[in-house]
Amino acid sequence: MAFDSIQTPAGKADKVLGGSVNYFSVAASFYAPVQVLGVVGNDFPQAHIDWLSQRKIDTTGVQIVSGETFHWVGSYDTNLNEAKTLSTALNVFEHFDPRLSEKHRDAEIVFLANIDPVLQTSVLNQVKSPQLVAADSMNFWIMGKPDALKETLKRVDILSINETEAFLLSGEKNLHKAIVAIRKMGPSVVVVKRGEYGAMLFTPESIFIAPAFPVDQVIDPTGAGDSFAGAFIGYLAENGASRDMAKKDPAAWNKLLRRAVVAGCTMASFTVQDFSLHRLMRLEAPELAKRQAELLEMISIG
C-alpha cells in the first residue's frame, strides 16, 4: 500500500494512491472476497481504507504505524511498457514484519505480492493449509535475493512475471527455455505479463496467448500488472480453483486458467485509462462483464 508520484506522456499525478495491495484487492473484489495484509503510515487516508472495507475486502490485516507510507516516484516515456524509477522511499515498509491473524491463517488461496522473498516465505509459513499459492516477483529480488526467491518458488503453484524477469530468473534468453527452467523451480503454471501485448499462459499441457484489450488512450500503466493478477486470482477463487482440481481434471483446470487470463487482461485495460486507482474505483460490474465478453469474442475463431 503506497503513494505514487507519476509522470507519463499524458500528464502527471503527485502522491496518489498506489501499491500492489490496492490494485490487486480492488481488482480481485469484483470476483471474490479478499483479505489483505499490508502496512501504512499515519499519513495514509482512512477514507481509502474505509472504501476498501465497503467492498469484499477485509482490511483488518492493514497495520497503521507511526511514520510515512511507502512512496514511489516514477516516470514513463513513449515506451509505456517500462517504468523508470526516480526514487523509492520505503518509510514504514522498511520494517514491515507480516503477522497473520487466525482468520488469515485459514486462507485457502494465497497471493504473495512483489515483496522480499524472505517475507513471502514468512507469510506462507503462517498459513495453515493453502489449496493454491500464487506469487509475483521482480528483477530487484531476482538479482538481489535469488536463493531466497528460489526457496519460496518451491512452494508456489502459479508465478506471475514479465518476460525480462523470466529471462533473469532462468538465465535463459529464449522464453520457452526460460519457462521450462522456471517450472523446475516449483511453479507448474507461469503467467508472463506482456504489457500492451497482453499475457501468455504456460501450463504443463499447453500455451495460451491473450491480447490486451485495445483502448483509445493509455494514461498511466502503473498497477496494470497488479490489477491483472487481482482479477486472475479473483476469477480462480470465484470458480473454486485448487491444486486438487489441477491434478484431477487438467482439462477443466486449463480452461479455467485461460478464462482467468482473459479476466486479468480485461481488468488491466481499465487500470491504464486513468492515474492511480481512479478508473477501477469508477468501474461497475456490468461494464467489466461487457468488456470481458468483447475480448473473448476478439480471440474466438468461431
Q: Is residue 282 part of a domain?
A: yes
Domain that holds residue 154: 20-39+56-61+101-298
Identify whether 88 is part of a domain.
no
Q: How many CA atoms lie within 13 A of 237 on its CB side?
A: 25
pLDDT for res 273: 97
Is there a domain that residue 209 lies in?
yes
Paired sense of beta strands 71-75 and 2-8, if any: parallel
Average pLDDT over residues 59-88: 92
**Four-point Cα dihedral 201, 260, 195, 302, nearest 10:** 80
pLDDT surpasses 90 at 291:
yes
The conformational region for residue 19 under phi > 0 = left, psi -120 to 50 = alpha, else beta, is left
55: amino acid identity, one letter: R
Q: Averaged over 11-36, what is the pLDDT?
A: 96
Is 169 within the bounds of a domain?
yes
Query: pTM for the full model?
Result: 0.95
User: For residue 5, is it within any domain?
Assistant: no
CA count, 13 A, side-chain hemisphere, 261:
29
Task: Identify the three-state secondary structure at position 4.
Answer: strand
Question: What mean pLDDT comes out for the span 50-79?
Answer: 94
Whether 69 contacts 5, CB under 8 Å: no
Q: Is 189 within the bounds of a domain?
A: yes
Please state whether beta strands 71-75 and 84-89 pair in parallel, antiparallel, or not at all (unpaired).
antiparallel
**Structural domain total, the chain:** 1
pLDDT for position 249: 95
The separation between the first and the last C-alpha atoms of the chain, rounded to the nearest angstrom, is 42
CB-based contacts of 1: which residues, under 8 Å, 6+ apart?
Answer: 19, 21, 22, 38, 39, 40, 44, 62, 69, 70
Element spanning 279, H or E: helix 278-282
The domain that holds 144 is classified in CATH as 3.40.1190.20
How many helices and strands in the chain, by DSSP H and E?
13, 12
Flag whether 7 is in a domain: no
Residue 104: band (very low, low, confident or very high) from pLDDT cuts 50, 70, 90: very high
Domain-located, residue 225: yes
Q: Give the type of residue at 18.
A: G
- Which is it for strands 199-202 and 207-210: parallel, antiparallel or unpaired? antiparallel
Q: Report residue 183 as a C-alpha cell.
A: 517450472
Task: Give the tens place of pLDDT for each residue, 76-89.
Answer: 998 888 888 899 89
Residue 59 phi/psi, 5° resolution? -100, 15
Assigned C-alpha cell, 35: 483479505
> What is the identity of the amino acid at 248?
K
Q: What is the mean pLDDT of residues 238-267?
A: 96
Q: With 0-12 CB in 10 A as exposed, 13-18 as middle and 19+ as buried, what is 171?
A: exposed
Bridge partners (DSSP) of residue 131 are none
